Each structure stands twice: as C-alpha cells, then as structure tokens.
Amino acid sequence: MVKNLIKAGANVDANKCKLDHCPIPLTPLQFACFKANVPLAQELITAGSTIDAPEPGWKCSAILLAIYGHDQSRWRGVQWPKPVDNEGLLDLVQKLIAGGASVNGSETDMNATTESIRQWRVKLEPGYLFYEIIVEQHSPLTLASKYKYKELVDFLVLEGADIQFHTDGTSSALRQCLHDLPDWFEGKPYALADRLNEWDDESAARSTIVNMAHSLMQAGADLNDHIPCEFIDYCEHFCLECYSVLNLAVLIESPELVDVMLHAGAKTTYHSLDLAIEVKSFNIFSKLLAKGATIPEWATTEKGNASSLCILEADPRDVNHFDLQSKRALVLAALRLGATSELDSLIKSMNGSRNLLDGCTGLTSAIEDCCRSGHYEPLRHMLEAGIIPKSHPALFGRSVPLIIQHNREKMLDLVLENGADVNARY
C-alpha cells in the first residue's frame, strides 16, 4: 500500500504520525523506525524521506528511534521477550547512515521548544515511552551498548561513533555495556547473575558483554572515568560514579576481562577487593591485589599498611621481602571463598609462621563467612596448621548458630572441637 501511495505522489515528509503519550509528531520514517518496521523504513528511505529531522526539545534521530524501537518490539503485547531480527536492525542502521544519518544522533537544543513539551520531558519517569532518549539522552552507541547489540556496536564504532560520549554526562558506552543501570538508580550495582531474567543464559550473557567490552576498549574507551569517592571511610558506594569501569567488570565475574583491563591501565578503587569477595572469585581477588588494590580494613591490623602483593616464596621472617598485609588478605579471602588449593599453597609458603593473623580485625568475620558457606576443608586446614589459634571462643564469633541454621553437622563438630562457644548468639 505504501508503495502505491508513493507512486501516486504522496509526500513522504509532509505527513505526521502521532503516538499515545507522546506530544511530538513523528515523520513516517521516524514512526517506521520506532515500530521496528524495517521493510517500511527501507521503502521510505528509497523514496527520499528526510533521514535526520531533529525536533527542538529532544534527540530524535532515526537511528536512535530504530534501536529503541527494536528493543521495545521484543515486549509488545507479551509477558516474555520475543526473538527479534538483529540483522534487520543492523541493515536498517546501515541504510540510515548511508542516507546521511548522523552516527552520533542528530543534535538539537533541548530547551528550544514549547512549554508543553518541556513539561512533558520533566514529568517523564523511568519506564515511560522515550525515557532513554529524552531524559538519559543516549547516543546510538551508548543505547546499542545498553541493549547488548554487539554487531551494531562494532558497526557504529567503525563508522566513527564518539566512543567518549557519556549519557547526560555520566555513563559511557563501556559502562552501559558492563552495567546498564540508569543514573537514577539508588543502591549498589548487582553482580551479573543477580540482574539476569530467569530466561537468560548467564554464560551467553557474560560472553556477549566481554566481547563487546573488548571492542569498545580497542576503540579507545576510557577505563578511568569514575569519580573517586569522597570521605571514603563513610561512603557506602550507592552511586554509580563510585564504581570504576574495572569495578563494573569485576561484577561481570570474568577474570579474563579484569586481567585485560588491568594490563590496559584500569585503576582499582578502595572497594575493588570487596567486590571480588562479593562475586566469590579468589582469582579476581588475587589479580586485583597483585596490581596494588587497596587492602580492605578487614584484612589489616592496627600496625599494618595496605600495599601491593607480596612475593609468597620469600622467607616470611624477612619483612623486607614482601608485605605481610597482602599475604594476610589472600589467606582470609581464600578462607572466606573456600579456595582450598590456593589456601594450601599459601600455608606452605609461610614456612611455620603462625602469627600472620594475630590482631587481624577480619579473622572472625572470615571464619563466620566460611561456616555460613560450608567451606569445611579450608577451615580444617587453617586449624591444623595452627594459623587459627585453638581454644579462643571469641575468634569463632557467631559460627555455631550460623552452622546450625544451615544444618552442617560435620562443620559444627569441627568448630566445637576447636573451642567455639556453643552458646554463641546472633
């Protein structure tokens, strides 16, 4: 039908399309892009439709509408996301750029518009139509990264998309790739496994993110665009700005990605090692520590100073060879995470030094974590090596009630035999 209308002389730019809850009329091409109607959009492009037609007051490029509409189409009228044709989206974006569309999205004065449109923009809330485009002000690259469209991201980068662009001045394409929480989010970002839907495959999701991150890094993405926490002792890290790109990569739980970023110059922060504990990765923890990550307070003593990884093979009685605080952090992390073989290697490297954990504020919490998670062997090895003193009930803290809560009889026998308080309470 559209072909017939065009053949009859219909002006492809003169007509306007209206959407519910949107006061700004769309051109037929913009409407086709938003509705993910690739054949219609291609027909309009062929007929000479204006590609970029920015309206004052919002960033409404056809490419942005195509990407946004493509994601929206997965959810239209269904409870579960529908499979969609990513190749069709890529083909459409290629045709839009070939027709003259700006790879970074058409620029427009966000304030040069009517009062009604300004008020509409101010009242938009997360989840409302066009929120990502109007409020978060994405570019095509950041929006494609948010939706994890790997092939489209690669194409936009090759076409010269601005790799340093930040949504509303805060979040880059690399950040959107690693963690697509919006800027209004209040709370700590989630590990990858905790943010996926029940129908998502964790391994596939991780692979997509890692591959996309590699592409963005190769294109020159900034690895250190975070804002260091002020008043670090009191910061609870509830702002995304507290999280470096490296910290967001830790939450992906990919040691390989963390390693690549570290070698590319990504900087650790005060809570990088705590995040490695959160995602339960001793491998990532040791990589971060080896690159000089600040040692958490739970792994230090009053006399200790945080510094870089020690040389574990050196004589532990010679403090000039390595830093005991780093070794202490590794031992406690291995205990908390149940890294038995790594812990055994650390114990062997200590050559009889049994006072490593003396005065360590985090020993009790590490034992409690170990008991909560049921890591029997690491705790047994620590006790047999004499690194955890026996008959010191206070060191075991709340271990007994934690073990009872999780019904671990074998571990209960172990801690009681070594002096844990049977009457300890939460």
Q: To which residue do tokens 């100073």 refer?
A: 305
More confident residue, 159 or 228: 159
220 and 325 belong to one structural domain: no
Same domain, yes or no: 262 and 338: no
Residue 174 lies in a domain: no
Q: Which residue has the higher pLDDT, 93 or 24?
A: 93
233 lies in the same domain as 131? no
Model confidence, pTM: 0.85
Tell me the pLDDT band of 308, cut-offs 50, 70 and 90: very low
pLDDT at 236 over 70: no
221 Cβ neighbours under 8 A, 6+ residues apart: 163, 164, 172, 173, 174, 245
Q: Which of 291, 325, 340 is the last residue of a domain?
A: 291
- Look at residue 244 and tell me if it is in a domain: yes
Same domain, 372 and 254: no
pLDDT digits (tens, 9 = 90+) for 241-258: 678 899 999 999 999 999
Answer yes or no: is 306 within a domain.
Answer: yes
pLDDT in tens, 352-377: 566 788 878 889 999 999 999 999 99
Q: Is residue 168 part of a domain?
A: no
Same domain, 259 and 384: no
My answer on whether 229 and 356 are in the same domain is no
Judged by average pLDDT, the poorest of 125-129, 310-314, 364-368 is 310-314
29 domain residue, yes or no: yes
| CA atoms within 13 A of residue 210's CA, in its CB half-sphere | 18
Is the predicted pLDDT of residue 391 greater than 80, yes or no?
Answer: no
Least confident of 34-48, 224-238, 370-384, 391-405: 224-238
Residue 163: is its pLDDT beyond 90? yes
The answer to the question of residue 169 being in a domain is no
Minimal CA–CA distance to 394: which of 369, 358, 411, 419? 419
Instruction: Mark whether 328 and 256 lie in a shared domain.
Output: no
Q: Are 48 and 12 in contact (CB under 8 A)?
A: yes
CA distance 378 to 327: 16
- Among 270, 291, 312, give the residue marking a domain's end: 291
Residues recorded for the chain: 426
What mean pLDDT is predicted for residues 98-127? 75
Q: Are residues 284 and 301 in the same domain?
A: no
Residue 129 is assigned to a structural domain of this protein: yes
389 and 360 housed in the same domain:
yes
Residue 48 placed within a domain: yes
421/390: higher pLDDT: 421
Tokens of 85: 């044709």
Alpha-carbon distance values, 288 to 211, 259, 327, 407 (Å) = 21, 8, 13, 34
State the CB neighbour count (10 A cutoff) for residue 348: 11
Strand duo 166-167 + 22-26: pairing? unpaired
Residue-range definition of the domain harbouring residue 304: 295-426
Domain count, the chain: 3
Residue 420's CATH number? 1.25.40.20
Q: CA nearest 160: which of 222, 213, 218, 104?
A: 104
Do 304 and 326 fall within a single domain? yes
Gap between the Cα atoms of 193 and 175, Å rounded: 17
Do residues 235 and 117 share a domain?
no
Question: What is the predicted pLDDT for the residue at 318?
Answer: 42
More confident residue, 113 or 129: 129
335 and 272 in one domain? Answer: no
In terms of Cα–Cα distance, which of 280, 123, 262, 154 is closest to 216?
154
The CA–CA distances, whole Å, from 73 to 76, 84, 113, 258, 406 equal: 5, 8, 29, 34, 44
Domain end, chosen from 133, 162, 191, is at: 162
Spatial CB neighbours of 302, under 8 Å, sequence gap ≥ 6: 359
List of residues 6+ apart from 337 with CB closer than 8 A: 277, 280, 281, 282, 285, 375
